[in-house]
Structure 1
Amino acid sequence: MRKPFARLSRLAGLVPFTLALGLTLAAPLASATVLTFDDLGSDGLVPVNYGGLDWSASSWFQYAGEQAPFTPHSGDHRATLGWDGSADTSAIGFTTASVFSGAWFAGYQGVSITIDLYYGGTRVGSTSTLDLSDSPTFLASGYSGAVDRLVFRSNDPANFVMDDLSFTSAVPEPGTGALALAGLGLVGLFMRRRRVD
């Protein structure tokens, strides 16, 4: 007959394994997105619901064509703001709270851009200020929390372009709960088998 203390010691050794497995299976699966604008076809305003984002209050325009200094990072299309690129007309909303990674920018020398990050109406962070050139440069978010709105600030809103805007939505998949339960069931079965041995 086994001593209760020895059994308890063995079970305590399984706690980290059980927690790690449970958290892994229960975590929502993240969905990464990179908006290249190349799938939009003809030039024009960025569609209101493009890429799962809300562009309805913005004046973002996407186009192909003339390049330098408005060089795309990939493909041929990129987005730009009109001359009225104010805090209101530059704003892009997320339909699902997401982690914003950053985007690529190019434009005339002397033009700079900063992105303010919002969640629930409160500014939660800002990127560094990027000074532009005709070589696309990545402007990283620098913030790892959830955001639901981006506001772009520039000293010359119409003289830069944006490409490959990247973000990750935390969207729970329908099967996540079932996977978590199955994982915990396996852990329970494993513990029961060890108890019988």
Structure 2
Amino acid sequence: MKKAFTIALALAMAAGAQFASATVLNFDDLSGNADPVPTNYGGLDWSASGWVSFNGSDSSDPYTPHSGSNVITLSWDGTDALSLVRFGQAATFDGAWFSGYAEGDVTFQLFYQGQLVGTSATLDPSATPSFLASGYAGLVDAVGIKSNAHAFYVMDDFTFTAAVPEPSVTLLMLAGLGATGFVAARRRRAQGDAA
């Protein structure tokens, strides 16, 4: 029983640690040839978006990558709607790095279950990459970028954290694993008594 509980606790802690780590999409594993960002890139849904990747190191200022070489941008006919990125599960969104022309001001719009739940500050990009924080600590399932001049900016190091399971879910999992261990131990004792 004690061994089963120890194993269950270790599994629950490992599962919690897995959900709590931040994910940073730096786009360096994409082609960088103005190809669309793949539909399920980084575990997110990019299918409704118009994002394309390109090698920012090959271009001149002001499209400077924050890290690595690749960045993403919207095409010249980009719109706020085409910037929308959906999450496969609820997450907290930290923000991303931007560079570009000051005319391409950017603001995050944060959505949860179809409702606008938060809006970030506005950033006027420059050739030096700057971090735009979401400014919202709650859960989101979609992020869009509002701008008066899409394609005048690039985005890099898109950072989010998948939602941590509720403590009640973890306790329920522990209880289930503990009950399984208890039944197995009882069954072994009953088989030992019968022999």
Same-fold status (TM-score > 0.5): yes
Alignment of 1:81-160 (within 5 A): 81-160=74-153
Query: Letter of the aligned partner of 1:59 in structure 2?
Result: G
Gaps of 5+ in 1: 1-20, 185-197
Cα distance between partner residues in 2 of 1:103 and 1:42: 18
Cα distance between partner residues in 1 of 2:89 and 2:23: 12
The residue that corresponds to 2:4 in the other structure is none
Alpha-carbon distance, 1:132 to partner: 1.1
Match of 1:35 among 25, 30, 55: 25
Alignment: residue pair count:
160
SS in 1 for 2:82: coil
The residue that corresponds to 2:43 in the other structure is 52
Q: Among the aligned pairs, what percent are the same residue?
A: 51
Alpha-carbon distance, 1:68 to partner: 0.9
The residue that corresponds to 2:188 in the other structure is none
Query: Letter of the aligned partner of 1:106 in structure 2?
Result: S
The residue that corresponds to 1:170 in the other structure is 163
Runs of 4+ in 1 over 6 A off after TM superposition: none
The residue that corresponds to 2:68 in the other structure is 75
SS in 2 for 1:61: strand
TM-score (norm 2): 0.74
Measured against aligned partners, the alpha-carbon deviations of 1:73-118 in whole angstroms (never above 9, x if no partner) come to 0000000011222122111100111100000000013321111000
Gap change, CA 1:134 and 1:54, over 3 Å in 2: same
Contact 1:106 1:134 in 2 (8 A): yes
Contact 1:31 1:171 in 2 (8 A): no
TM-score (norm 1): 0.73
Gaps of 5+ in 2: 1-8, 179-195
Which structure: larger Rg? 1
Measured against aligned partners, the alpha-carbon deviations of 1:151-181 in whole angstroms (never above 9, x if no partner) come to 1111110110000000000255xxx558845
Gap change, CA 1:179 and 1:95, over 3 Å in 2: closer
